[in-house]
C-alpha cells in the first residue's frame, strides 16, 4: 500500500489536522515507511507462540472480593452536602 499526497491530505482533513501543502510529500513518505514496517510484522511467523500480556511471568497479588461499607460511614459521607441514613441525597432532576 502506498499513500500519495492527495490521500495524505484527505486523511489530514478527516482527522481535522491542518497540514501545510509543502509538508504533505514528506509526511506521505513517513507514513509509507510506517505502513511498510507494519506490513513486515505480518510476515513474522507466530504459529505456536502463546499470547502474552507481559514480558515477565509475574502473578499479580489478589485480594478477596468482598462488599463492605468502608468501615467508617461518617468519614465516607463527611464531604456529602446532604445525606439521609448513610445515602447521598441529591436534588430531583426532571425535565
Q: Chunked in runs of 10, what are the mean pLDDT values of the chain (95 residues)?
A: 90 95 95 94 90 84 82 81 85 83
pLDDT at residue number 69: 65
CA angle 40, 7, 9 (to 5 degrees): 120
Residue whose C-alpha cell is 489536522: 17
Q: How far apart are CA 86 and CA 77, in angstroms?
A: 7
- C-alpha triplet 14, 18, 20: angle, nearest 5°: 125
Position 22 scores a pLDDT of: 94
Domain range list for the chain: 5-41
Residue 91: alpha-carbon gap to chain centroid:
34
Amino acid at each position: 500500500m502506498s499513500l500519495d499526497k492527495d490521500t495524505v491530505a484527505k486523511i489530514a482533513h478527516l482527522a481535522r489536522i491542518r497540514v501545510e501543502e509543502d509538508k504533505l510529500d514528506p509526511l506521505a513518505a513517513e507514513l509509507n515507511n510506517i505502513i511498510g514496517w507494519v506490513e513486515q510484522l505480518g510476515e513474522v511467523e507466530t504459529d505456536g507462540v502463546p499470547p502474552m500480556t507481559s514480558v515477565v511471568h509475574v502473578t499479580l497479588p489478589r485480594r478477596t472480593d468482598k462488599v463492605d461499607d468502608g468501615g467508617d460511614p461518617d468519614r465516607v459521607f463527611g464531604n456529602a452536602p446532604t445525606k439521609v441514613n448513610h445515602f447521598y441525597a441529591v436534588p430531583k432532576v426532571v425535565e
